Amino acid sequence: MAQLRSAIVAWAAGGARAEGAEAQTRLLAERVGLRAVVLVEGVSDRVAVESLAVRIGRRLDAEGVCVVPMGGAMSIGRFLGLFGAARFDVEIAGLCDVGEEPYFQRALERAGRGVDLDRQRMQALGFYVCVADLEDELIRSLGAATVLNVLEAEGDDRNFHVFQHQPAQRARPVEQQLRRFMGTISGRKERYARSLVDALELARVPHPLELLLARV
């Protein structure tokens, strides 16, 4: 599945490698029994989706579900175009931040998947919006106190306290501080995507994640 994910990304990138990447995508899709592709903005989103799937007893790779980080919401049109033109018989779903929602709306409309799409119509197509982003959804579901405990378990509590005292952070609510802290160092968002999902009570899963996994 990791090879398939890489092939899809290379195919979407275009250029001299695109033809070979398309052939590899088709080959690997058949080999893994691909039945659904989930398009997400970045690696941390993929980690969160896959980690939550494990928490609820699912193994997406074994189920033929490939979660693909696109490298940003503005790439959504290219990825939708691959599966529209290639006529793959697979479910296509996705997850985005609220700030990137217009990119997803326009891309879905250009791909012929609907007109005048609003959030409800996007959900009917299998595309879900996080407010403000997935980290924010997880922090609100867990509560600040639980997230602070997760930071302590990860050994980041001292770093976070230093971060809180930076002039730009002092007046912000702790939830906003936590969200910003997780994006300050490369790789931290990915690490906390897994840690926060592991700390979730399954009765309090963020709605976009819950709907997405129910879809695929």
Task: Write out the chain's pLDDT in tens, 216 residues.
Answer: 999 999 999 999 999 999 999 999 999 999 999 999 999 999 999 999 999 999 999 999 999 999 999 999 999 999 999 987 666 789 999 999 999 999 999 999 999 999 999 999 999 999 999 999 999 999 999 999 999 999 999 999 999 999 999 999 999 999 999 999 999 999 999 999 999 999 999 999 999 999 999 999
Say which amino acid occupies 101: E
Residue 86: predicted pLDDT: 61
Residue 109: predicted pLDDT: 96
Same domain, 100 and 150: no
CB atoms within 10 A of CB 142: 22
Cβ(6)–Cβ(28) below 8 Å:
no
Same domain, 154 and 83: no
Cβ(95)–Cβ(128) below 8 Å:
yes
Same domain, 126 and 52: yes
Instruction: State the Cα–Cα distance between residues 209 and 216, nearest whole angstrom.
Output: 11
* Tokens linked to 117: 């799409």
- The predicted model scores a pTM of 0.94
Same domain, 176 and 118: no
Same domain, 66 and 115: yes
Residue 85: predicted pLDDT: 61
Same domain, 130 and 32: yes
Residue 142: predicted pLDDT: 98
Count of domains observed in the chain: 2
Same domain, 85 and 74: yes
Same domain, 71 and 164: no
Same domain, 66 and 131: yes
Q: What is the CATH number of the domain that holds 50?
A: 3.40.50
- Pick the closest to residue 137 from 182, 169, 71, 75 (CA basis): 182
Same domain, 147 and 180: yes
Any idea which residue has 């275009």 for tokens? Answer: 14
The overall longest dimension of the chain from CA atoms, in Å, is 54
Domain span at 180: 141-201
Same domain, 8 and 72: yes
Instruction: State the Cα–Cα distance between residues 59 and 138, nearest whole angstrom.
Output: 21
Same domain, 37 and 129: yes
Residue 160: predicted pLDDT: 97
CB atoms within 10 A of CB 96: 26
